Structure 1
Amino acid sequence: MKRFAAIDQGTTSTRGYVLDESGTGGIVCSRKHRQIYPQTGWVEHDPEELLGNVLKCIEAAGVVDAIGIANQGESCLAWHAETGEAISPVLVWQDRRTESTIARLKSDGAEELTLAKAGLPLDPYFSASKLAWILQNIPEARILLAQGKLRLGTTDAFFIDRLTGNYTTDITTASRTSLVNLETGQWDSELCDLFGIPLEILPEIKPTMSDFGTVHVRERHIRLTACVVDQQASLFGHGCRNTGDEKITFGTGAFALATTGSAIVRAPEKGLLPTVAWQQSGKPAVFALDGGVYSAASALNWARSLGLFNNFAEINAFDAPPAISRNLAFVPALTGLGCPHWDGSAAGMWIGLSLDTTAINMVQSILEGVAFRAAEVIDAMQQLTPVGQTISIDGGLSNNPWFCQFLADVLQKTITVQSGGELTAFGTAMMAAGHFNFNQMQNTQRISYDPQAIHIDGKALFSKAVSRCRNW
């Protein structure tokens, strides 16, 4: 029986997953890595640690016919073209060190160009300004550039180069850099010039599902047949094939994607971004509309680190009514606000605290805040593309029944949680396998949460809280 491996290299861990041709799959390896915070607003990973975990997950997969890799999307680094050695840390998608550069570019009117060509606003979230920071601030990068020995790109390109010897990335990841023209699917010279990045040192862009080379691990030779951003992999894994099909992944952040087919939907005024969903070799790209909430499970993990609760089982149910009904709100802007606000100056905030507020009240308000932020994204999307009455979700927070029901109530839509919960890995493995009959392979066991009436206009009150956390 044929077996296919997916390596889900995410923000907090790397997970190995194996899917067989019958549609049965599961996690075979999981490795956490360090989160490095050198100073306020900076978030880094150790590239060698990430690569080591990727290799361990490949080894744990055993004998497989092909591999797919899902990556963090906007996280990037630089490395030596000949030795493969990383010369910078990974600058993680959450990293905000380039705020001043972005502010200068905005004041110069450059956002008109990035919106027109890349479909993306100017924001430190995307790779381009971080790649430029590496060139400007790491002396070895400038030396290697002068010698023609510099490689600069997103984490997937680093992994592929080290694993196969091929310097390449995929179209979904490239579309998140602010350096790609969405219409052509190629690096754009004007965008590269804007950020001061030599186009010729960037990796080759290939379709999501294509031949990326051969991985050599422990005398095994395995084809690498898929590379994709984790959120797009999740969209594929959820079975979102038709226009308007939508999913939300509640991981470190919360990311909603809706499939738009061949249409590139541009809505910068609503904070929504066009992006490439996937591309099969020899076929046109499929596009999606993307809206992100930067802090979701990360906000909950932060609260746990503060001692507000001890284990996740404690917060699967609450005796009290929603915190928002008691005028207590939390805005999860711990790394700024994404869609629809795009305000990097916003700060995380509780409002409505009083002497009788308990730790568990505060945790409840965090879960509500993530749900309300997701609702802001969905409300914006519904103004541009049809969104069905059912939304599929995954990620760590999808395991919390109270959160799922609250989300259904806020959205007034049915929320479905597919069993297994590994939709990113599942989608990546399917891409690696080349299976496109999702209905045949889909795990049909799922839990549904139907909406109930909410007796308070929580959205309006939460919107007021959001307005007060901005421009901090």
Structure 2
Amino acid sequence: MTLCLAIDQGTTSTKAFRWRPGTDIEPAGSLTHRQIYPQPGWVEHDPRELLAHVRTLVGNTPDATALALANQGETVVMWHARTHEPLANAIVWQDLRTRDMIERLRAEGAEKVTLARAGLPLDPYFSASKMRWLLDNVPGARSLAAAGDLRIGTSDAFFLDSLTGTFATDISTASRTSLMNLRTGAWDAELCALFDIPLSCLPEIRATLGPFGQIADGPAVVASIVDQQASLFGHDCKEPRDIKITFGTGAFILGITGADPVVRPASGMLATVAWMFDGTPTYALDGGVLCAGAAIEWGRSVGVIDTLSPVWDPADRCADRGLFFVPALNGLGAPTWDRDARGSWTGLERTTRREDLGRAIWEGVGLRAHQVVAAFEQASGARCGRISVDGGMCRSAAFRQFLADLFRRDIHFVDHGDLTAAGLLRLCARALGSGQMPPLFWRRTRPRHPVPDGAIAAFAALTARPAGPITPTEESPA
């Protein structure tokens, strides 16, 4: 009998879930891994540790017949083509070591090329500059590349090559590298030359449902996708302008745009591929709030947040009183992309209490998400459709109520369940041609006390785009 297994290899942990048609989704294990910080601004993972955790969780479900794998997105691994041994630690999507490289490329006018071909601005967030750094700084890497013995790619390609012998990535992950032509869905020779990445070292780009090979004595890998796109599929976002917000370490906003990419650099939103079925890609716009759940954890560490289930008076918000926290603990992501911004409270008074400082952090994360959704609407030219949320912060009823009041519309959520896992298992079911899908039971929080426009505008003034940036031209991908 069919047993589907989902493996979500994320930033802080690797989680497994299983599902048989006719049953509910069940957790099947979770393993955390080390966060390695060699220098300020550098973030690394040990690829061997990540792979070992994936192997362990697959082995814990020996009767699985099909596997769907989610990856971190922009995180990069370099390894030996024949031995599969990593040649360095993985550089994580949060890593900022390539900022100087990015600024040099921007000064040379390279951003026009990345926007026109990949649909992405220049930023250390994306994989290409991380790959270039590894090629330039790992001893012997260029020589191995010249000899045909080097492989480099996003973490999914390393896992697939090691587990099944299939050196491939999927189109949604490839669209996060700045090396894929957004319109053709293939590696772009001009982009690879721009970043000095040998095409021969990169994995084959495949559709979301692969195939991606068979694990020895284990399941076939029938789907591979970025974790946020898996979550989008789990949220059942199918129609243009449907939006999901995942409040994890960061807050990741993805919204469907349809069969054609929407590239609007001035909006601060990122064009990306949601998935590709039957040879046809579905495109989306993506915007990241770099610090969401991480801001809550920081608030706990400094003693201003006591609980992850706060109880507030929804009509007595910090924002209404002019007290704000900008959650820019590692810069601002979309839509301003100001990596030099720093977190701050403003509007402090002698009457401000410790619990007010904590609540302002929660509200600041919500206000940043609201900014990204507004940027999506600007880029797509229409009001967004259904908004659904998930992630650890959304377990708080008080936070969900704040979001409903902030967006002035219903906020859809699932009481129990991991929507990245749900998306992966639904992809499994689709790949297998199953007539059944894992069940989800949606609820909604309705607005009660709308957040005033003045409060939203005051927060926007605190996070405005810095003066004097290079403003990219709005071009469609070549």
Which TM-score band applies after superposition, normalised by the shorter structure? over 0.9
> How far apart are the structure 2 equivalents of 1:83 and 1:444?
42
2:37 is paired with a residue of what secondary structure? Answer: coil
Displacement of 1:82 in angstroms is: 1.2
Among 385, 393, 398, the alignment partner of 2:394 is: 398
Code of the aligned partner of 1:343: D
CA shift in 2, pair 1:68/1:22, >3 Å: same
> How far apart are the structure 1 equivalents of 2:434 and 2:386?
18
> How far apart are the structure 2 equivalents of 1:395 and 1:443?
18
Displacement of 1:455 in angstroms is: 5.7
Displacement of 1:359 in angstroms is: 3.0
Aligned length: 466
Bigger shift: 14-23 or 355-364? 355-364
1:434 is paired with a residue of what secondary structure? Answer: helix
Bigger shift: 171-180 or 392-401? 392-401
Among 433, 457, 460, the alignment partner of 2:457 is: 460
Displacement of 1:8 in angstroms is: 0.4
Code of the aligned partner of 1:352: G
Give the equivalent residue in structure 1 for 2:375.
Answer: 380
Code of the aligned partner of 2:455: G
> How far apart are the structure 1 equivalents of 2:434 and 2:455?
37
2:443 is paired with a residue of what secondary structure? Answer: strand
- The answer to whether the Cα contact below 8 Å between 1:118 and 1:182 also exists between their aligned partners in 2 is yes
Among 231, 234, 238, the alignment partner of 1:237 is: 234
Deviations 1:345-370 (A, max 9, x none): 21222222344433322221111011
Among 324, 343, 352, the alignment partner of 2:347 is: 352
Structure 2: unaligned runs, 5 residues or longer: 469-478
- The answer to whether the Cα contact below 8 Å between 1:394 and 1:421 also exists between their aligned partners in 2 is no
Displacement of 1:111 in angstroms is: 0.5
Code of the aligned partner of 2:459: F
Q: CA-atom RMSD, angstroms?
A: 2.1
The sequence identity of aligned pairs, in percent, is 47
> How far apart are the structure 2 equivalents of 1:254 and 1:210?
28
Among 291, 309, 320, the alignment partner of 1:295 is: 291
CA shift in 2, pair 1:35/1:306, >3 Å: farther
Bigger shift: 240-249 or 68-77? 240-249
Give the equivalent residue in structure 1 for 2:221.
Answer: 224
CA shift in 2, pair 1:439/1:302, >3 Å: farther
> How far apart are the structure 2 equivalents of 1:338 and 1:433?
34
Give the equivalent residue in structure 2 for 1:343.
Answer: 338
Code of the aligned partner of 2:28: V
- The answer to whether the Cα contact below 8 Å between 2:327 and 2:365 also exists between their aligned partners in 1 is yes
Give the equivalent residue in structure 2 for 1:49.
Answer: 49
Code of the aligned partner of 1:144: L
Q: Does 1:68 align with 2:68?
A: yes
Bigger shift: 54-63 or 392-401? 54-63
CA shift in 2, pair 1:75/1:89, >3 Å: same
- The answer to whether the Cα contact below 8 Å between 2:3 and 2:20 also exists between their aligned partners in 1 is yes
Give the equivalent residue in structure 2 for 1:103.
Answer: 103
Give the equivalent residue in structure 1 for 2:425.
Answer: 429
> How far apart are the structure 2 equivalents of 1:90 and 1:335?
19
- The answer to whether the Cα contact below 8 Å between 2:426 and 2:438 also exists between their aligned partners in 1 is no
CA shift in 2, pair 1:260/1:319, >3 Å: closer
Code of the aligned partner of 2:339: G
Structure 1: unaligned runs, 5 residues or longer: none
Displacement of 1:123 in angstroms is: 0.4
Code of the aligned partner of 1:331: V
1:447 is paired with a residue of what secondary structure? Answer: strand
Give the equivalent residue in structure 2 for 1:326.
Answer: 321
Q: Does 1:309 align with 2:305?
A: yes
- The answer to whether the Cα contact below 8 Å between 1:346 and 1:469 also exists between their aligned partners in 2 is no
2:402 is paired with a residue of what secondary structure? Answer: helix
Displacement of 1:5 in angstroms is: 0.4
CA shift in 2, pair 1:379/1:143, >3 Å: same
Q: TM-score, normalised by structure 1?
A: 0.94
Deviations 1:139-167 (A, max 9, x none): 14234224321111100001111101111
- The answer to whether the Cα contact below 8 Å between 1:430 and 1:436 also exists between their aligned partners in 2 is no
Displacement of 1:248 in angstroms is: 0.9
- The answer to whether the Cα contact below 8 Å between 1:237 and 1:426 also exists between their aligned partners in 2 is yes
- Segments ≥4 residues shifted beyond 4 Å: 435-440, 468-471
Deviations 1:322-379 (A, max 9, x none): 1222322111112221111111121222222344433322221111011001100111
Bigger shift: 189-198 or 296-305? 296-305
Displacement of 1:425 in angstroms is: 1.0
Q: TM-score, normalised by structure 2?
A: 0.93
1:274 is paired with a residue of what secondary structure? Answer: strand
- The answer to whether the Cα contact below 8 Å between 2:324 and 2:347 also exists between their aligned partners in 1 is yes
Bigger shift: 184-193 or 421-430? 421-430
Give the equivalent residue in structure 2 for 1:160.
Answer: 160
Q: Does 1:264 align with 2:269?
A: no
Matches within 5 A, 1:177-216: 177-216=177-216
Code of the aligned partner of 1:420: H
Displacement of 1:186 in angstroms is: 0.5
Displacement of 1:441 in angstroms is: 2.8
- The answer to whether the Cα contact below 8 Å between 2:268 and 2:337 also exists between their aligned partners in 1 is yes
